[in-house]
Structure 1
Amino acid sequence: MTTTSAQLDAADPLAHFRERFVGAASDLVYFDGNSLGRPVAAVAERLASFVQEDWGGRLIRGWDEQWMDLPTTLGDDLGRICLGAAPGQTTIGDSTTVWLYKLMRAAVDAAVRRDPHRTEIVIDTDNFPTDRYVAEGIAAERGLTLRWIEVDTSEGVTADQLAAAVGDRTALVVLNHVAYRSAWLADAPGLTRIAHEAGALVLWDLCHSAGSVPVHLDAWDVDLAVGCTYKYLNGGPGSPAFGYVNARLQGELTQPIQGWMGHADPFLMGPGYTPATGIRRFISGTPPILGMIAMQSMLELVEEAGIEAIRAKSVALTSYAVELADATLPEVSVASPRDPAQRGGHVTLHHDRMREVTARLWERDVIPDYRDPGGLRIGLSPLSTSFDEVERGMAAVATALAG
């Protein structure tokens, strides 16, 4: 290898961000930032201040002063910093699963109202399990059919595959921007265009790209998007998800979980439901304010670093991991795209013994995760991961495989 990890770290313009994460200075190797990001160090003080001042000092007055609007104001920040979304289209709250249900149901119902023959949801066999399970439930609930795209688990949905699957019966297409298993980076604008040419709506799952890969929802003319905030957005375990609804659709879609916070006047407490205008109509229940605090600190770091610089660091980290795998793991195959332009923020290495290898690594404070079939997944969060950490982790993988 021509360049050492020390040289790569010395040349890394984002290296100084690493010290702003809890635990990054330890010897532990963290290869799972694409499942749960490290906490930002500033969160401890932010949470303490919130308990003492906002919650403890302002008490219920906090709702009138800022909490009622936090899902949409923080959603606007997320849209501006990470999603390429103009204000008024993104809001935060609920889980990823709930957002998928709300937006999938709203989309298929709208499609069927326009054209009763549109009775199919197009989704791929390697889409994230939750997306598939929710789609299956909605299809059963609404009398729809699922049209499956069979994909290679080391790749993802291609333009030719989608074009062959959609047609005049397609109501909704559900796709992952970055495949959870292989890290295949989908051609979001191209696939969105194919869905639209067939007259269908499209929903993008951004869980493995938001905060790591630049996203341009407005420019791509995306209809709907959903993502979580505990991966590359470092919101913490169970932090609330987000939903994006393109402004041109907000008056057309009827969200199926009509809660009091999505009412035009939440405190009217009247006998009937009147939806709020704009993105607020897609809010259901009381916002999880505590769960949004940590994400604010990470969004500040992402804005400071710049999403394009973060993507460049991500490409460099995953490319280094692939280079090390080729050099030191001859029995292992790379089950992710080798072209970094087609790869998100993680790399999956395949070997039949990877389940036992993963367990062995965890005992040694090297933390990847495992995905069938035989995949050791290395998730590299750009602001908190160093090249030295990648080198040490890959050496540990080689040792565990040899043991």
Structure 2
Amino acid sequence: MTTAPPRTAAALDAADPLAHFRERFAGAESELVYFDGNSLGRPVAATADRLAAFVRDEWGGRLIRGWDERWMDLPTTLGDDLARICLGAAPGQTAVGDSTTVWLYKLVRAAVDHVARTEPGRTEIVIDTDNFPTDRYVAEGIAAERGLSLRWIEVDTSTGVTADQLREAVGERTALVVLNHVAYRSAWLADAPELTRIAHDAGALVLWDLCHSAGAVPTALDAWDVDLAVGCTYKYLNGGPGSPAFGYVSARLQGELTQPIQGWMGHADPFRMGPGYTPAAGIRRFISGTPPILGMVAMQAMLELVEEAGLEAIRAKSVALTSYAVELADAMLPEVTLASPRDPAQRGGHVTLHHERMREVTARLWEQDVIPDYRDPGGLRIGLSPLSTSYDEVERGVAAVAEALR
């Protein structure tokens, strides 16, 4: 690592065009250093009033009428807002509800079942060894259920899947490729359009996990010709603990896929209560049970901030914050190894620093109101949510890491 003197946090904060957004988050005024915005985002301050108004006026005032008046359509109307603001997707392809795990199960299972009907010789799911655990576990379970095999791409935990690796893994037996847009451990930013093209050239479908990019890294799902995508809303979309996930299904596939969890909310006429299941048209057929309205209400406040700031500006701030964290680590942590890409164009919204004592360091920091998180092997992860994080916070946090290591 180099030892060039870092720039000053005060100068960076003074020049930051998004600095004023920080005051719109609950708790941001405290001295606590929050380095875990890529696991759970701070609440938008306006969310408290929004939830109170919902309880008082909609839930308390309208009661069951709320379903007819707004709630029934909220999974798709909010999905369209999310698609427009963050995903680069046209309306009618995104729905909010369920957890990421449930969305993964529904879409992976729907994809491989569709391929089994149309091309029965395609019996492999391609996935990498450092994919997020839920993705791997769901893929393993579905492979066992459907008599499929998994083809594993071995990746370096400080990087991610490359075009050459994927090109070597896919072939005439590949049904589906499951990839993370931003690697949860290293923050490796995958070349989504190129990897999607490689999967399609091999005749396979591709599903992208956007959990560590939605709201922080721009995507262009339609332009990239993505088939399927899932993501959560409690990280950079600040929906709160357990807020509902989202699923994206390209319009060209919606009539071809049969979703495996047939619930009443995905029925063409939910209140008919008929004897058989008839799927709704479009993205609504991928909804299963009653949507979690309270979690959606909390998420709306952050989506409004993202739209106000602009996702490209948020990405620029994210790059600047992570680059500053790397710069400070170079200067203040000579004993630490960077376990994320040094090139910001290949890095998402967090930075991972490696040292064999980082598990103990993380525990010590939490006692001091400095909150990173830990990922094996020896990785202290610094997650920087652009609208709620200041450069001063980054400087104080990295200084605390240095002190804890000493």
- Could you tell me the TM-score, scaled by structure 1's length? 0.99
TM-superposition CA deviations, 1:159-179 (whole Å, max 9, x none) = 000000000000000000000
The residue that corresponds to 2:18 in the other structure is 14
CA positional deviation for 1:3: 2.5
Question: C-alpha distance in 2, partners of 1:175/1:2?
Answer: 35
1:116 aligns with 2:120: yes
Counterpart pick for 2:56 among 52, 58, 61: 52
1:397 aligns with 2:397: no
Question: C-alpha distance in 2, partners of 1:322/1:365?
Answer: 21
The residue that corresponds to 1:307 in the other structure is 311
1:288 aligns with 2:329: no
The residue that corresponds to 1:322 in the other structure is 326
CA positional deviation for 1:131: 0.1
1:177 aligns with 2:202: no
TM-superposition CA deviations, 1:286-336 (whole Å, max 9, x none) = 010011111100000000000000000000000000000000000000000
Equivalent residue letter for 2:67? W
Please say if residues 6 and 327 of structure 2, whose CA atoms lie closer than 8 Å, have aligned partners that are also in contact.
no
The residue that corresponds to 1:61 in the other structure is 65
Question: C-alpha distance in 2, partners of 1:155/1:180?
Answer: 10
The residue that corresponds to 2:97 in the other structure is 93
3-state SS of 1:253 partner = coil
Counterpart pick for 2:77 among 54, 73, 86: 73
Equivalent residue letter for 1:72? T
Counterpart pick for 1:204 among 189, 208, 211: 208
Equivalent residue letter for 1:258? Q
TM-superposition CA deviations, 1:323-373 (whole Å, max 9, x none) = 000000000000000000000000000000000000000000000000000
Counterpart pick for 1:359 among 347, 356, 363: 363
Question: C-alpha distance in 1, partners of 2:69/2:276?
Answer: 27
3-state SS of 1:127 partner = coil
The residue that corresponds to 1:254 in the other structure is 258
3-state SS of 1:267 partner = helix
Question: C-alpha distance in 1, partners of 2:277/2:80?
Answer: 26
The residue that corresponds to 1:131 in the other structure is 135
Please say if residues 33 and 370 of structure 2, whose CA atoms lie closer than 8 Å, have aligned partners that are also in contact.
yes
1:189 aligns with 2:193: yes
Identical counterparts, % of pairs: 88
The residue that corresponds to 2:274 in the other structure is 270
Equivalent residue letter for 2:388? S
Equivalent residue letter for 1:187? D
CA positional deviation for 1:156: 0.2
1:157 aligns with 2:161: yes
Counterpart pick for 1:84 among 85, 88, 93: 88
The number of residue pairs the alignment matches comes to 402
The residue that corresponds to 2:343 in the other structure is 339
Question: C-alpha distance in 1, partners of 2:30/2:55?
Answer: 29
Question: C-alpha distance in 2, partners of 1:3/1:132?
Answer: 41
Question: C-alpha distance in 1, partners of 2:7/2:184?
Answer: 30
CA positional deviation for 1:261: 0.3
Equivalent residue letter for 1:276? A
Counterpart pick for 1:106 among 88, 107, 110: 110
Question: C-alpha distance in 2, partners of 1:313/1:235?
Answer: 21
The residue that corresponds to 2:31 in the other structure is 27
The residue that corresponds to 1:369 in the other structure is 373
Counterpart pick for 2:383 among 379, 382, 392: 379
The residue that corresponds to 2:151 in the other structure is 147
TM-superposition CA deviations, 1:90-134 (whole Å, max 9, x none) = 000000000000000000000111111000000000000000000
The residue that corresponds to 2:392 in the other structure is 388
Equivalent residue letter for 1:350? H
What stretches of structure 2 of length at least 5 have no aligned partner? Answer: none
TM-superposition CA deviations, 1:54-106 (whole Å, max 9, x none) = 00000000000000000000000000000001000000000000000000000
CA positional deviation for 1:263: 0.3
Question: C-alpha distance in 2, partners of 1:237/1:303?
Answer: 22
Task: Please list every run of at least 4 consecutive aligned residues from structure 1 whose deviation after the TM superposition is greater than 6 angstroms.
Answer: none
The residue that corresponds to 1:233 in the other structure is 237
CA positional deviation for 1:33: 0.1
Cα RMSD for the two superposed structures: 0.4
Question: C-alpha distance in 1, partners of 2:111/2:387?
Answer: 36
Question: C-alpha distance in 1, partners of 2:119/2:252?
Answer: 18
Please say if residues 125 and 176 of structure 2, whose CA atoms lie closer than 8 Å, have aligned partners that are also in contact.
yes
Equivalent residue letter for 1:292? M
Equivalent residue letter for 1:178? V
Equivalent residue letter for 1:316? A
Question: C-alpha distance in 2, partners of 1:75/1:22?
Answer: 25
CA positional deviation for 1:27: 0.3
TM-superposition CA deviations, 1:353-401 (whole Å, max 9, x none) = 0000000000000000000000000000000000000000000000000
What stretches of structure 1 of length at least 5 have no aligned partner? Answer: none
Equivalent residue letter for 2:168? A
TM-superposition CA deviations, 1:269-290 (whole Å, max 9, x none) = 0110000000000000001001
Question: C-alpha distance in 2, partners of 1:231/1:53?
Answer: 28
CA positional deviation for 1:2: 5.5
CA positional deviation for 1:220: 0.2
3-state SS of 1:271 partner = coil
